[in-house]
Amino acid sequence: MSFIREIDPAHATDDLRAAYNELERRRGKVASIMKVHSLRPSALRAHLALYMDLMFAPGGLTRRQRELIAVTVSRENDCAYCIAHHREAMSFYIHDARLLDVIARGVDDSSLNAADRALRRYAVKLTGMPDRVEERDVAVLRAAGFADEDILLANLIVAYFNFVNRIALGLGVTFDEAEMRGYRSGGTNGRTD
């Protein structure tokens, strides 16, 4: 549910039905954040393509690191929908409930490795103070072992989740426990560690 009218998958036709079928094939079901696009199927398809590329396509960042960025940005924006969804996704890669809570609450990150701490700090700064990001912030990521391709991917994921958080918050996208469960954890053949 959201603040605007949505077309349920059971009532979708033509382009929207095809987009929903693609979501169900790739992710197992249609998330509320995608359903809110139902009045613009072309935007739904573009959104899905971007999401799948950033979060699942091969690249130097692991799925765990991608979800770490997702949760970090969503926490900075206080987006409960995305925090809940991506904390759940992160639980496929982090099996420590305490650490998941630490990440979701944005508290002491000393139990993360140096590379993950660098990613989190970059995501926090780019989300909250984008005008203050400097070349030295990127140098910190390089020093943590990230190649420029990885840094670009991290930047795109931070930007993407700022975009998605604003869709969820600006249109009042809601969730319940059933909404959170049942998604496929994989996409394409990106690193899963």
Q: Is the predicted pLDDT of residue 29 greater than 90, yes or no?
A: no
Segment 72-96 shows an average pLDDT of: 93
7 vs 106: CA distance, rounded Å: 35
- The CA dihedral of 65, 133, 136, 143, to the nearest 10 degrees, is 0
137 vs 191: CA distance, rounded Å: 25
Taking alpha carbons only, the member of 67, 65, 55, 71 closest to residue 145 is: 65
45 vs 22: CA distance, rounded Å: 9
User: What is the per-residue pLDDT across 121-179, written as a single tens digit (0 to 9) for each?
Assistant: 999 999 999 999 999 999 999 999 999 999 999 999 999 999 999 999 999 999 888 77
